[in-house]
A and B are shown apart, each in its own frame.
Chain A
Amino acid sequence: MPFKIIASQCTGCSACEPICPNVAIVEKGGIFAIDPKKCTECIGYFDDPQCVEVCPVDDTCVIDVSLPRYKAPG
């Protein structure tokens, strides 16, 4: 299950974009979105998902339960 950004809550501050280890976050019309194909939930990089940690608005970067959980390779 990758993370997603709840568009209505995103302030467009861009804090998440440069710190994503997978370069999975892109700007779309002033707000940001996570490419689910690239998101690894930061597994293998950091203990905590970086977008969640840095986002200034609580509960904006959340697990996308509609998608299957990320599986680390190997």
Chain B
Amino acid sequence: MKAVAGGGNGANHPATSSKMLPTGEHKGCRASAVGGKASCGSYAGQGDLPSEVWEKVKNHPCYSEDAHHHYARMHVAVAPACNIQCNYCNRKYDCANESRPGVVSEKISPEQAARKVLAVAENIPQLTVVGIAGPGDALANPVKSFRTFDLIARTAPDIKLCLSTNGLALTDHIDAIVRCKVDHVTITINMIDPEIGAKIYPWIFFNHRRYTGTEASRILADRQLEGLEMLAERGVLCKVNSVMIPGVNDEHLVEVNKAVKSRGAFLHNIMPLISAPEHGTVFGLNGQRGPTAQELKALQDACEGEINMMRHCRQCRADAVGLLGQDRSSEFTAERLMTMELKYDLETRKAYQANVEHQRAAKAAAKQEELMELAGEMSDITLLVAVATKGSGLINQHFGHANEFQVYELSTSGTKFVGHRRVDLYCQAGYGEQDRLAPIIAAIGDCHAVFVAKIGGCPKNSLINAGIEPVDQYAHEFIETSMIAWFKAYLRRVQSGEIQHVTRMAMRDPAMTSVA
């Protein structure tokens, strides 16, 4: 690895090195729950977060893990052009059944986008955030992107605006970002070492010409880090996304993490490479694999410190609509929008969201109570459990209807959200098929239990045989409170000798456990 400690080549840039923030000045959204283990933006733990930052993240599903159970986001695909080429992207690809970044079904104009926001806000009152995430680069389409933000701000003033960029053009648009009150910006930074960058980016288009090789990556990394610093100085919350590419930048991302932390990034989101030959990407075609869920978690754990690691990212499409992990974009096609009568009812939305906040407070209080009881427990057992949920922080999904499971780590320090595992829908037309069950069991094979609202007899037995306890006694109750209650009982059962605690190992077959 040619990783350069302390910021790499970007740090040598005069504009970037002079303004480095001291490490840890930006504390991110670490919550102060028991043992410092709460995940990003835990409701109970505004803790060391300044109030103005808390106001920005508390109902942003991407910036707060807790908020993602309650609030929805949408992407408007107004930005098709891009100014760089990435080996994990294929611009020709477009499929409605694919859910991953860069994929959209239809591109829309700023005016259509503003209309779509109204329609979604009316139908999904949980909507709090609108982002521009491509399918190209938001800032390679500045006219369309900023016009979209202006239109939305006019008609839906309570909606938070965000954008996602590769950072190449970022420094040119800092003032516009601040003017439009875009207070969340995501920059995708995959490397700070141009030698590594050359394996990820074949070229960039900059200053009216194409650059290739390490020269391209040097320009890109310098401008990304400079843009990040400028935004942090202006008080814009920045999330850094990094695509984990095993054998290319996986070890190097620890250095990237340090570099972005020192420049004021608020949150770091290390995401798994999604790679398959049928996507037609360079990586897909040359057999580059993505990481396993366990490899991803190990890297996220290694990077966790003074900056929070985002673990609830669903790598959604550039036109996704709904709660994370859910996509309702097909309900809001341009054609359907034509026929919808639209009005923006701010009062109803406010009332709905006040109710959501009420529920969140109740959930946080219930969790605190359970945590207090857990505080007396002495045990070094740490284990993972999976949860089937449709949102609202509740165990409210049938095992067979889940297309993903949320995974939490439990210990006497409390609960910690560590990721999600996507699975194919097990229940098709009311019949669970045995051969669909095996991959699900593999996907959550490192978990001791799976919490569900309901589960059929047959999958129940298969899970038990695989050593995973199906738990349906907490149906429609709060996720974290239930997990703590179950964990306490688990410790009791171990102490009494009723059961023996065994460490569950991750399945090593990447095909079975890939998070993609």
> CB within 8 Å of B: which residues of A?
9, 11-15, 18-19, 46-48, 50, 53-54, 56-57
Contact = CB atoms under 8 A, between A and B. Distances in A.
B209 interface: yes
B48 to A, nearest CB: 43
Interface string B207-224: 011100000000000000
Contacts, number: 45
Nearest to A21: B208
B311 to A, nearest CB: 31
B155 interface: no
A59 B402 CA distance: 44
A24 to B, nearest CB: 16
Q: How large is the interface on B (under 10, 10 to 19, 20 to 34, 35 or more residues)?
A: 10 to 19
A57 to B, nearest CB: 6
B136 A13 contact: yes
A46 B205 CA distance: 13
B419 interface: no
Contacts of A12: 80, 107
Interface in B119-168: 135-136, 140-141, 143
Interface in B84-106: 85, 91-92
A53 B80 contact: no
Q: Is the interface of A mostly helix, strand, loop or mixed?
A: loop
Given A14-B81, A15-B82, A54-B205, A48 B210 contact: yes
Nearest to A54: B205
A56 B82 contact: yes
A47 B209 contact: yes
Contacts of A19: 208
Contacts of A54: 81, 83, 205, 210
Interface of B: 80-83, 85, 91-92, 107, 135-136, 140-141, 143, 205, 208-210
Contact of B209 (A9, A11, A46, A56): A46
Contacts of B205: 15, 53-54
Contacts of A15: 80-83, 136, 140, 205
Contacts of A18: 81, 143
Sorted nearest first, the 8 A-B pairs with minimum C-beta distance are A15-B81, A56-B91, A53-B210, A13-B80, A54-B205, A11-B91, A14-B81, A13-B81
Nearest to A17: B81
A3 B381 CA distance: 67
B275 to A, nearest CB: 18
Nearest to B134: A13
14 contacts: A11-B92, A12-B80, A14-B80, A14-B81, A15-B136, A15-B205, A18-B143, A48-B208, A48-B209, A53-B205, A53-B209, A53-B210, A54-B210, A56-B91
Contacts of A57: 91-92
A47 B210 CA distance: 11
A53 B207 CA distance: 11
B208 A56 contact: no
A57 B205 CA distance: 13
A46 B80 contact: no
B183 to A, nearest CB: 27
